[in-house]
Amino acid sequence: MTLGIILALVAGSFVALQVIFNSKMGEHTGSWLTTTIVLGLGAVAALTVSLLLEGTSGYHMENMKTWYWISGAIGVGVVFSLMQAIKALGPTFATSIVLTSQLSFALLWDSLGLFGLEKIEFTFNKFLGVLVIIGGILVFKYGERQSQARKSAEHK
């Protein structure tokens, strides 16, 4: 479990870095070219590491369901949508909304047992947990406005 938590923390830091880098690259190349570069370089890196660490032993895809292949296209939507959200909202606010959405949909899909997932019980505590996170985002975003309004009123 500890390793899982550490890897999740590393993944979160990588996501935060990636959205910043993608956003900066998008300022120079445009959103669609940035998406192409990011996913293309990611594919090359993943293929290289896979071959170096696992060899070809993992390349048995004959029993894989066809609809799993759309994952790459979903990745295009993730990168493009996140870059646009960052342009509109800034990195911190956009990322917090994305992560809350990710958690909410994961809870929904787990609770319904969709996409071949083992069905888990949907409980009030899980729902409340998502609401607390949403409340935290609202406090983060709109608490900042009240603080700025107070500072502005003090300077007048």
Reported as a single tens digit per residue, the pLDDT across 78-137 is 989 988 998 899 888 888 898 889 989 989 999 999 888 899 999 999 999 989 998 988
- Whether residue 144 is predicted with pLDDT greater than 80 in this model: the reply is no
Task: Please give the sequence-ordered ranges of beta strands (E in DSSP) within the chain, or none if there are none.
Answer: none
Neighbours of 102 (CB within 10 A): 12
pTM: 0.73
Give every CB contact of residue 117 below 8 A, 6+ residues apart in sequence. 109, 110
Query: Any idea what the Cα angle at residue 34 is, between residues 29 and 36, rounded to 5°?
Result: 130
User: What pLDDT score was predicted for residue 12?
Assistant: 86
> How is residue 102 written in tokens?
């990710």
Q: How far apart are CA 135 and CA 129, in angstroms?
A: 10
Reported as a single tens digit per residue, the pLDDT across 32-45 is 999 999 999 999 99
Identify whether the C-beta of residue 59 lies closer than 8 Å to the C-beta of residue 51.
no
Neighbours of 4 (CB within 10 A): 8
Q: How far apart are CA 43 and CA 39, in angstroms?
A: 6
Task: Write 96-99 long-range contacts (CB < 8 A, 24+).
Answer: 96/137, 96/140, 97/137, 99/12
Confidence of residue 50 (pLDDT cuts 50, 70, 90): very high
Identify whether the C-beta of residue 19 lies closer than 8 Å to the C-beta of residue 87.
no
Reported as a single tens digit per residue, the pLDDT across 11-30 is 988 888 888 888 889 889 98
